Amino acid sequence: MPQHASNTPVCCACDGFATAAITTGARHRNGSRATLTVACPACKGTGHTARAHASVKAGR
Ligand SMILES: [Zn+2]
């Protein structure tokens, strides 16, 4: 079975992770980069593309 099912609208912006890591430019004391994890604005944290896209296709 392929990893990406054709009928699963995975968000292309976050690749289905539903979150996006934003690098702040700052670093932690241990040297690692400080990042902010926010909900993906493209899919609003769902990890899938908006349903409107699919409903347009199904509405016909
Ligand atoms: Zn997304």
Interval between CA 48 and ligand 1 midpoint (Å) = 6
Dist CA 35 CA 60 (whole Å): 43
Q: Which residues have a beta carbon within 5 Å of ligand 1, which is an ion?
A: 11, 13-14, 40, 42-43
pLDDT of residue 32: 92
Residues contacting 29, CB < 8 A, separation 6+ = none
Tell me, what's the pLDDT at 59? 55
The string of DSSP codes covering the chain is --SS-TTS-B-TTTTT-SEEEEEEEEE-TTSPEEEEEEE-TTTTTSSB--HHHHHHHHT-
What separation in Å is there between the alpha carbon of 9 and the centre of ligand 1? 10
Number of domains in the chain: 1
Distance of CA 26 from the midpoint of ligand 1 (Å): 24
Q: What is the pLDDT of residue 58?
A: 55
**What confidence tens digit (pLDDT) does each residue in 1-59 have?**
555 555 678 998 888 989 888 888 999 999 999 998 899 888 889 998 865 555 555 55
Does this model's pTM top 0.75? My answer is no
